[in-house]
């Protein structure tokens, strides 16, 4: 059987401000080897969670994944672009630390944070609860679009942490990622399962197909994973984010599966979330004990970083949830333009 050719490199997105315009315009050129002093854009005047900074970060990070069609691969390690990216990252981290600040004044441990995450509220609220109870098929399709930026590369951002771990933490981390990558079966890659979901929902399954459609909040969710994964100094935060993802995945996927059953969604849509209900319930226990537990036992100083990663996960997920609920309650699309 001859396989159809796969387009791996997406097109560059449309700029959304002076920062993203500077980055995107530069990538259309051949990468210079000197520092890019000619970029003049005020990061300090931009919203760290806004579309201009988040799109700029997303474009920089994607050079470490699949890159962009027509973009010189040498941009990936260009010193000038890395310098600009670092400034963007500093702004993002500053905002996260500011917003986590009040909660950070209360002494806690990674174990405490994971216990808090695993406690299901009696009267929960948020997108998955809304979609389960009253969301429409069109709102579910919008939700798929928001999540497509991550799920079409599910497992990849967290995989950066693997070479930074050792011992049981590393072995167990890889075991969980092995499941994310289909346990050796290409058709069971979670990325592929989500692509199948997109096709079933009559959406574009191409990598980054909706980068020009999603808001800053969706970009921030994915950028946070790349930020933590690409910096060894943030490996504790990367593990904390990984733990938060696995702990919240199974119950959230259960609610979304209920929503999909309620609206009579195609089987491929239901199968993606059914897989996460089952697999991530097991992953949660492995991550809590064998990944986080072992990491903190080996490197106690990283406990606070794991807490930071868990709470940062909460900050960006809450921003996206607030955006979704505000739009849906107002009867508006949550995307930058309405889906066809």
Q: What is the pLDDT of residue 62?
A: 98
Q: What is the pLDDT of residue 38?
A: 54
**106: which 2 tokens?**
């209360």
Q: What is the pLDDT of residue 104?
A: 46
300 lies in some domain: yes
CATH number assigned to the domain comprising residue 287: 1.20.910.10
Same-domain pairing of 44 and 132: no
In Å, how far from its chain's centre is CA 47? Answer: 19
CA dist., res. 151 & res. 201, Å (int): 15
12 lies in some domain: no
Same-domain pairing of 175 and 278: yes
Nearest to 46 by CA among 98, 85, 80, 92: 92
1 lies in some domain: no
Same-domain pairing of 300 and 253: yes
The range of the structural domain enclosing residue 131 comes to: 110-329
Q: Which of 101, 128, 147 is the last residue of a domain?
A: 101
CA dist., res. 254 & res. 159, Å (int): 25
CA dist., res. 176 & res. 314, Å (int): 21
Nearest to 248 by CA among 322, 321, 165, 326: 321
Contacts of 22 (CB under 8 A, 6+ apart): 39, 40, 41, 56, 84
Same-domain pairing of 155 and 54: no
**163: which 2 tokens?**
């070479």
Backbone CA torsion sign across 41, 44, 45, 48: positive
**Total tally of structural domains belonging to the chain:** 2
Q: What is the pLDDT of residue 28?
A: 81
Same-domain pairing of 180 and 157: yes
Q: What is the pLDDT of residue 308?
A: 96
70 lies in some domain: yes
CA dist., res. 151 & res. 303, Å (int): 28
CA dist., res. 162 & res. 169, Å (int): 9
Nearest to 316 by CA among 246, 212, 180, 215: 215
Same-domain pairing of 184 and 304: yes
Q: What is the pLDDT of residue 106?
A: 52
Same-domain pairing of 28 and 54: yes
Same-domain pairing of 127 and 238: yes
Same-domain pairing of 134 and 273: yes
pTM over 0.85: yes
Same-domain pairing of 278 and 166: yes
Q: What is the pLDDT of residue 278?
A: 80
Q: Which portions of the chain are predicted below pLDDT 50?
A: 1-5, 35, 103-104
């Amino acid at each position: 059987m001859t396989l159809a050719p796969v387009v791996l490199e997406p097109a560059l997105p449309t700029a959304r401000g002076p920062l993203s315009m500077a980055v995107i315009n530069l990538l259309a050129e051949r990468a210079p080897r000197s520092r890019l002093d000619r970029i003049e854009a005020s990061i300090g005047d931009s919203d760290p969670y806004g579309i201009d900074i988040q799109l700029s970060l997303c474009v920089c990070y994607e050079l470490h994944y699949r890159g962009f069609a027509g973009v010189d691969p040498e941009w990936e390690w260009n010193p000038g672009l890395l310098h600009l990216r670092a400034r963007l990252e500093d702004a993002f981290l500053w905002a996260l630390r500011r917003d986590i600040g009040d909660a950070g004044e209360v002494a806690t441990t990674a174990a405490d944070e994971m216990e808090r995450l695993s406690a299901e509220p009696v009267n929960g609220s948020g997108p998955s609860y809304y979609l389960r109870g009253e969301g429409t098929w069109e709102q579910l399709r919008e939700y798929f679009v928001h999540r497509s930026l991550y799920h079409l590369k599910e497992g990849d951002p967290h995989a950066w942490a693997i070479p930074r771990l050792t011992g049981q933490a590393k072995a167990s981390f890889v075991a969980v990622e092995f499941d994310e990558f289909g346990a050796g079966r290409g058709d069971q890659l979670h990325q592929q399962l989500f692509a199948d979901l997109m096709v079933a929902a009559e959406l574009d399954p191409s990598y980054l197909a909706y980068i020009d459609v999603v808001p800053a909040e969706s970009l921030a969710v994915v950028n946070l994973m790349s930020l933590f994964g690409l910096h060894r100094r943030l490996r504790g935060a990367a593990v904390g984010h990984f733990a938060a993802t696995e702990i919240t995945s199974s119950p959230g996927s259960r609610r979304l599966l209920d929503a999909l059953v309620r609206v009579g969604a195609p089987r491929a849509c239901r199968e993606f979330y059914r897989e996460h209900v089952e697999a991530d319930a097991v992953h949660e226990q492995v991550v809590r004990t064998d990944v986080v537990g072992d990491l903190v036992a080996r490197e106690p100083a990283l406990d606070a970083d794991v807490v930071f990663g868990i709470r940062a996960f909460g900050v960006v997920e809450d921003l996206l949830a607030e955006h979704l609920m505000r739009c849906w309650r107002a009867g508006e699309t949550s995307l930058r333009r309405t889906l066809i």
